[in-house]
Amino acid sequence: MVLKEIKENYLKKYGYKAEDIFNKIIVDSSTFAIYEKLLKKLNHHEKIRLMNMLVDYQLEHYGENSKVNLKNI
């Protein structure tokens, strides 16, 4: 119960970490509908980190010649 309160307070103060959102995107594609809400909970620095993680993942798994669509980030 205490850990839950600590986590909630941390999220209110600092927001989510890029790794949390990245893992959610990679593991559970059914969460596409809530991506916008999740991104709004990231601070600017974490948004940049998430974008870099997504680009690295895209390049690693689909090759350098594939198109990366980052319009909605």
pLDDT in tens, 43-61: 888 889 999 998 898 888 8
Residue whose token pair is 């969460």:
31
Q: What is the DSSP-derived secondary structure letter of residue 42?
A: S
Higher-confidence residue of 52 and 35: namely 52
Instruction: Identify the pLDDT of residue 27.
Output: 85
- Backbone region of residue 17 per phi and psi (left: phi > 0; alpha: psi in -120 to 50; beta: other values): beta
Look up residue 11 and give its two tokens.
């999220």
Angle between helices 18-27 and 44-62 (to 10 degrees): 40
CA angle (73 as vertex; 70, 27 as ends), nearest 5? 90
Higher-confidence residue of 20 and 62: namely 20
Quick one: average pLDDT of 12-23? 81
Instruction: Identify the pLDDT of residue 67.
Output: 57
Other C-beta atoms lying within 10 Å of the C-beta of residue 69? 8
